[in-house]
Amino acid sequence: MNDYFLTIDVDWAADWMIDYVADRLIEKNVKATWFITHDSPILNKLKAHSELFELGIHPNCLPESTQGNTEDEVLQFMKKLVPSATTMRTHALYQHTRFLRKAALEYDISLDTSLLLPRVPNLSPFCLKWKEANLWRIPYFLEDDMEMFEENPIWSWCDLRIHVPGVKIFDFHPAYIALNNVNFDVYENLKPLKPLPQWTIDFVTPYIREGIGPKTLFLEMVHYLAENGGGKWMKEILIK
Ligand SMILES: [Zn+2]
């Protein structure tokens, strides 16, 4: 298997940010897997485009989660929001074997991609079997904000470091696409000023970066997928 997969961690982005990302995919007819964090009107738009969008869950089991106080509360919240979800990436890559088993056995999750192995070639899915649970796992290959911490970040689709053998799952965040920043401090400095869902276009406009960054890499990937089969959902990884 030698494919590129586009995934998006919603991470409580404002609706207009999510809308921008969704529209770029819709206009190019490109498939993506979204990892949902919260309820908002834009979720209906994502659900309405089931021909393009697979909706997975993005459980946040860290302290002070808005999704619940226990792992079960969080997973119940998630499944209520996206009842059909079979794919998961946990927020902050929270995981331990008992949690993964619970998600698989009790919440119908069959595929997990909560492990980041940046730029590592030859990634492929494997099935974790433990006490009746069968959970397919596949590491992901690149995350927009992690590139901000790299000495030589990848912001261009023609970068040869992207085009190695193996499954390559890319993870973008609507907020980072909107800001197009290559320095994580910009986002970190804005966060205390206003909760993310309340960020308006006017509020962020002074901080939007021109030039290459998460947004241009995202747009180039969408363009590539549009020209090369239209992309695939995470759950299609299991269809041989
Ligand atoms: Zn997250």
Burial string for 41-62 (b: 16+ CB within 10 Å, else e) reads ebbebbeeeeebbbbbbbbbbe
Whether pLDDT at 8 is above 60: yes
Backbone torsions φ then ψ of 224, nearest 5 degrees = -60, -45
* Count of CA atoms in the C-beta half-sphere (13 A) of 233: 19
Calculate how far, in angstroms, residue 23's C-alpha sits from the geometric centre of ligand 1.
Answer: 21
Pairwise CA distance, residues 10 & 185, whole Å: 19
Whether pLDDT at 238 is above 90: no
Percentage above 90 pLDDT, the chain: 95
Calculate how far, in angstroms, residue 19's C-alpha sits from the geometric centre of ligand 1.
Answer: 18
Q: What count of residues does the chain have?
A: 240
Please give, one letter per residue, the 3-state secondary structure of 3-28: CEEEEEECCCCCHHHHHHHHHHHHHH
CA distances from residue 84 to 47, 80, 87, 178 in whole angstroms, order as listed: 10, 9, 9, 28
Calculate how far, in angstroms, residue 93's C-alpha sits from the geometric centre of ligand 1.
Answer: 8
Task: Please give the structure tokens belonging to residue 30.
Answer: 């490109």
Q: In 3D, which of 18, 15, 89 has the Cα closest to residue 58? A: 89
Residues with CB under 5 A from ligand 1 (ion): 9, 11, 91
| 58 and 9 Cβ atoms separated by less than 8 Å | yes
97-107 and 71-81 helices, crossing angle to 10°? 40
pLDDT in tens, 51-70: 999 999 999 999 999 999 99
Calculate how far, in angstroms, residue 221's C-alpha sits from the geometric centre of ligand 1.
Answer: 20
Calculate how far, in angstroms, residue 4's C-alpha sits from the geometric centre of ligand 1.
Answer: 20
Q: Which residue has the tokens 């747009």?
A: 219
Pairwise CA distance, residues 153 & 135, whole Å: 32
Calculate how far, in angstroms, residue 90's C-alpha sits from the geometric centre of ligand 1.
Answer: 7
Task: Please give the structure tokens belonging to residue 206.
Answer: 């002074």
Q: What is the CATH number for 173? A: 3.20.20.370
Which domain range does residue 38 map to? 4-238
Calculate how far, in angstroms, residue 239's C-alpha sits from the geometric centre of ligand 1.
Answer: 26
pLDDT in tens, 63-109: 999 999 999 999 999 999 999 999 999 999 999 999 999 999 999 99
State the pTM of this model: 0.96
Identify the band that residue 1 occupies on the pLDDT scale cut at 50, 70 and 90. low
Q: What is the CA radius of gyration of the chain?
A: 17
